[in-house]
Structures are given as structure tokens and as C-alpha cells.
Structure 1
Amino acid sequence: MLGVLTGDISNSQTFSNDELNHILDALKIQLSKYASQYGGNFDIYRGDAFQLAVTQPQHCMQIAIGIRLALKALPLSADVRVSAAIGEAQFRQQEVKIGTGEAFVLSGRGLDTIKPQYIAFSCQNEQLENKTKLLTRFADAHISGLTQIQSQTVLAYLEASDKSHENIATILNKNRSNVSRILNASNYKLVAEYLSYMEEEIASWQQSSDAEK
């Protein structure tokens, strides 16, 4: 059972070559981080598209939102569309884009139909997909409304092991009260609660699916 995320940089043709290279560098940093953290690998192809496969699919929405926040945190007003899917699949290291299986099919199909949203979730279990579809659309709309500074601060909070506002302020080299103000204005707890809910729902379905085999 894998989590597969397929995505591309939104409106990539509007950026200069230098700007696009800067965006791609930030994207590669996030993809490398998540591939290492959640047991997977990734490919970047066609200049602005990517695919990441991980062996811990319960974290796929944290990855999707993390990638969006990282690009929205850039001073270039960059964004990315990401279609996440979980299911049975196989891939070879360093050849993710030619992986096979249900998760790859669902993820690619989801990206084809994702507009006007920026984040989508698909699953071979129709009940789980339907149960989480509306919540994901709300989360997507909320992330779309975050500013550059809010995106940077929420991402730092989500990725920190010590989530105290003092620690986030230290990471970002900002005043603690300012960080608290930005986080509260960003409704960061709702984002964290959505991600916890998705992680629990996916893990629960995965356990029940494994038990049936």
C-alpha cells in the first residue's frame, strides 16, 4: 500500500527561467525531505511536474499541504496543484514516474480533474474517499487564502517536533507574540486537526484492509 502524489507548478509559464529554477529548488527540498521521512522517492519531469511515492500513505495529505505551503511561502506567489492517492502500487527507486498500480492511476487521474481546486485526495476505497472529500475541499480553500508569511509560519509549525510558539519563533527568527498572532490569524489549529483526522482515517482503513488479506 503506497501513497502517491502527482502535481505540477501552477502557471509555471508566467515565471522567468531564474524564478522557475528557484521554485524548483524549493520543491526539490520538500520532496527530498518527505521522501526521506516517509520512505519513498520522487521524480521531477517536464520541467514543472513531479511525482512522489511513499510507503507511509497515512501522511500523504500532510505532504500535499506541506508542498503547497512551502511554495506559497516563497516571495514569488508560487503555488502547486497536488493530487494525492492511496492504494496498492509498485515502483522502482529512481523511476517513480513509471510506477504501476491503483495509487498511480488514481493520483494521475485526480490531477487531470483537479481544477479549480489545488489539493485532491483519492482512494481505492470509495467510502473513505467520499467521507473526506468535502473536508479536503475546505482545507484546500483555507490554504489558498493564506498569505506568504502565514504559509511560512504554518509550515514551520506543522513540521516542528516542538510546536511551542517560542520554538516556532526561534526557527523563524521572529518575535514570539508576532508568531502567535500570525498562527492564530491563520487558523493553524484547524489545519493541524484536518491533517490528524486524515492520518487517522487512512491508517484505520489501511489496517482493516491489511486484516482482510
Structure 2
Amino acid sequence: MNKMVAIITGDIVSSRTLKPAVWLKHLKEGLQMFGNSPLNWELYRGDSFQLKTTAEDALLHAVLLKTWIKQLKEIDVRLSIGIGEQTFEGTKITEGNGTAFELSGEGFDALDKKNLTINTANKSLNDTFRVMTDLALLIMDKWTDKSAEIIFLKLKNPELNQTQIAEKLNKKQSTISEALKRGGFDEIDQFINYYNQTMKQYVATSS
């Protein structure tokens, strides 16, 4: 059986309000956190992209990417996570195929005005994730550029306490505390951990 992977298909929202040179550079820097282009990620159609990651870390990586993108005021990102097999791996991620690619693409086409979806071959699991992502988006879509910066740093460096984050960003500790609370960091972190544990079980029982 082929290994389970996650394919994240995404695009930039409201990219016309910023010059492409600005948000495109920012997007590329964000994607480079997860590997090299074009094997691990690739841009296509101007403001769209695909990213390959592990099934277990897909939600963490999606939220990290969202917090990175939202550090530019005028833009957001839509993301469709597809969990499944990769039956063919080319020299570019966009040449690959398998259920992970199919589920990611189908989920992306069905996004409409939503900014995040998670799809597996298990309908019951998808229904659970849909409720959780809808609730999480009520918080995440409202992140400001400042709160996104703080939440990004905390997610990427969970070992840092609020005082250390404050020192890195040259802000008061109270500002960090308020931003994490207002941005629902603890709740989003719980969602990521739940997803991670659930996906470990899903991958184990699917192999």
C-alpha cells in the first residue's frame, strides 16, 4: 500500500489589493518552511499553490501558513487539506496523483466562501472535521496582522513562553497574553492536537 500523505491546495484571497511582487514573495517564504519547490510545493495559476506534507502535521502546517499569510494586512488564504495515498510522484508536486490529490482538489473546488476544509476517505471523520473547522474559522478569519504574527511565533516555537515572545517582538508581555487569548490560541492549539492524534490513528488503521 502507498504511504498516506497530505496535499494542501490553496490560493490567496483578495490578492488584487496588493502588488503581486509583495504577496508573492511573502507566500514563497511561507511555503519554504515546509520544503523545496517544486517537489514539496509549487505555485500555479498565479495565486494558487499545492503543498505536500505529512498527514499528521497537515493542520498545523495549514494554520502556520495562514498565520504567516495574514501578517500582510490585505490578504488571507483558502486551504483544502486532502488526506490519502500518493500513487505517483513526479519531479514536481503538481505531477503527482492519488487519492490525496483528488480529495484536496475536490475539497478546494467545493470551498466556496469558506477558507479551510479537511477531507479523508472517511465520511464520519470528515463531518467531525467540518464542524471543528467551521468553529475554528470564526476565530482564525478575524486574526489581525499583529495577532497573526504572535500566534505564528507561538505555534512555530511552542517552547517559548510569553515573556520570551515579547522580547523577540519587542512588545509587552501583557500584549502577547491578550493577543493569544483574543486570538483563541489555546482553542486552536487543542484542535491541532486533536487532529494530530486522530490522524495518527487514521493512518495506522488505514495502512
Q: How does 1:101-112 map to 2 (within 5 A)?
A: 101-112=98-109
Cα distance in 2 for partners of 1:83, 1:27 equals 16
Give the structure-2-normalised TM-score. 0.91
Q: 1:7 — aligned with what?
A: 10
* RMSD, aligned α-carbons: 1.6
How far apart are 1:161 and its partner, in Å? 3.8
Query: How high is the sequence identity, in percent, across the aligned residues?
Result: 27
How far apart are 1:107 and its partner, in Å? 0.4
Cα distance in 1 for partners of 2:89, 2:167 equals 39
Cα distance in 2 for partners of 1:154, 1:90 equals 35
**Relative to structure 1, is the Cα distance of residues 94 and 25 closer, same or farther in structure 2, using a 3 angstrom cutoff?**
farther
Q: 1:53 — aligned with what?
A: 52
How far apart are 1:97 and its partner, in Å? 1.0
Give the structure-1-normalised TM-score. 0.89
Cα distance in 1 for partners of 2:98, 2:150 equals 36
- Whose strand fraction is larger, Structure 1's or Structure 2's? 1
**Relative to structure 1, is the Cα distance of residues 93 and 21 closer, same or farther in structure 2, using a 3 angstrom cutoff?**
farther
Q: Which moved more, 1:90-99 or 1:56-65?
A: 90-99
Q: 2:183 — aligned with what?
A: 186
Q: Which moved more, 1:192-201 or 1:158-167?
A: 158-167
Indicate which of 129, 149, 152 corresponds to 1:152.
Answer: 149
Cα distance in 2 for partners of 1:11, 1:147 equals 15
Q: Which amino acid aligns with 1:22?
A: V
Aligned residue pairs total 202
Q: Which amino acid aligns with 2:16?
A: Q
Conserved in 2, the CA contact under 8 Å of 1:77 and 1:148? no
Q: 2:74 — aligned with what?
A: 77
Structure 1 segments (4+ residues) deviating >4 Å: none
**Relative to structure 1, is the Cα distance of residues 2 and 132 closer, same or farther in structure 2, using a 3 angstrom cutoff?**
same
How far apart are 1:3 and its partner, in Å? 0.4
Q: Does 1:168 align with 2:165?
A: yes
How far apart are 1:93 and its partner, in Å? 5.8
Instruction: Note the residue ranges of structure 1 that are not aligned, 5 or more in a row.
Output: none
Instruction: Note the residue ranges of structure 2 that are not aligned, 5 or more in a row.
Output: none
